[in-house]
Amino acid sequence: MVTSRPPVPWWRTPSSVRAAAVLSPLAVCGVLAGFRDSVPPAVAALVLVLCVVAVAATGDRLAGFVAALSSGAWFDVFLTEPFLRLAIHDPGDVQVAVLLVLIGLSVTELAIWGRRQQAESARRSGYLDGVLSAAATVSRGETGPDEVVDVVAAAIADVLGADRCRYVPGAVHDRRLAVLDHDGVLTQNGHQRDVGRTGLPVDELVAVEVRRAARVVGHFEVACATRIAHPTREQCRVAVLLADQVAALVDA
């Protein structure tokens, strides 16, 4: 089932975030300029780092870099002598400005890495939920075999990012078909294929075998007709694990 995503709020669009990356350090430096005598440059630099962190937390790397460079530039203009000029005479202020930019760039990369890890964790949780849901559907026995197989087929298509998936009884007889093994490796015409890099074959079928012990009792045929899917090795292994959930059911 395809669900529509809610519209992105205007303040989270890339253009708005990047505009904030330029303007928020300017606003902060404008305020701090009124307290030059009481706020040391090092403290002002730490305040500007908070601006970079706020922008980088959106996950936009370019916006984070822009915020770091903007912070360094406005720090120079408003908070170092000669004021209101893009020049620094004090070597100590030069060091603070350089460190401000470097720390801002580093914070941006750390924020991007953290968001990537969070997204990966969410994906893994989703895969696990899919396996558990399929296993629960099989174990409850409340639906017929065809309905269970359809649920698993839909879960496999979702995990692999494919357009459709259907179950076919028996082993794979067409040797030209790409086969996804239990290690998450796709083999086609005797050659292993890195689907994470090249993607699943388009307009060709991929077989996900259903095994019971050493026997192949059936397979799911996965098709990508409208897009190139690039599932990870982990996603491929989850697809095989999902397929095995129906082994006892279809064999019976």
155 lies in the same domain as 87: no
31 lies in the same domain as 113: yes
H/E element holding 206?
strand 205-212
b/e 164-200 (16+ beta carbons within 10 angstroms → b)? ebebeeeebeeeebbbbbeebbbebeeeebebeeebb
Instruction: With respect to residue 126, please indicate whether it lies within any of the assigned structural domains.
Output: no
166 lies in the same domain as 243: yes
Specify the number of domains making up the chain. 2
90 lies in the same domain as 31: yes
Q: What is the mean pLDDT of each run of 10 residues along the chain (252 residues)?
A: 47 80 93 90 90 87 91 91 84 87 88 79 67 64 77 87 90 85 84 84 88 87 84 86 84 70
Instruction: With respect to residue 136, please indicate whether it lies within any of the assigned structural domains.
Output: no
Question: Could you tell me how far CA 54 lies from the centroid of its own chain?
Answer: 20
32 lies in the same domain as 114: yes
Among 118, 152, 170, where does a domain finish? Answer: 118
217 lies in the same domain as 163: yes
pLDDT number for residue 194 = 83
Among 81, 102, 118, where does a domain finish? Answer: 118
pLDDT number for residue 199 = 84
At residue 124's C-alpha, the angle toward residues 123 and 130, to 5°, is 90
Residue 10 has phi, psi (to 5 degrees) of -60, -30
63: Cβ contacts below 8 Å, ≥ 6 apart: 14, 17, 18, 20, 21, 55, 56
163 lies in the same domain as 246: yes
Instruction: With respect to residue 123, please indicate whether it lies within any of the assigned structural domains.
Output: no
104 lies in the same domain as 16: yes
111 lies in the same domain as 55: yes
Among 75, 101, 118, where does a domain finish? Answer: 118
Task: State how far the Cα of 17 lies from the Cα of 54, in Å rounded to an integer.
Answer: 10
Instruction: With respect to residue 50, please indicate whether it lies within any of the assigned structural domains.
Output: yes
pLDDT number for residue 224 = 85
pLDDT number for residue 227 = 77
C-alpha distance from residue 20 to each of 44, 74, 104, 247 (Å): 18, 14, 15, 54
Instruction: With respect to residue 89, please indicate whether it lies within any of the assigned structural domains.
Output: yes
pLDDT number for residue 173 = 84
pLDDT number for residue 71 = 92
106 lies in the same domain as 32: yes
Instruction: With respect to residue 218, please indicate whether it lies within any of the assigned structural domains.
Output: yes
pTM of the model: 0.54
Structural domain boundaries, residue 49: 10-118
Instruction: With respect to residue 5, please indicate whether it lies within any of the assigned structural domains.
Output: no
User: What are the structure tokens assigned to 47, written together?
Assistant: 């305040």
169 lies in the same domain as 207: yes
111 lies in the same domain as 151: no
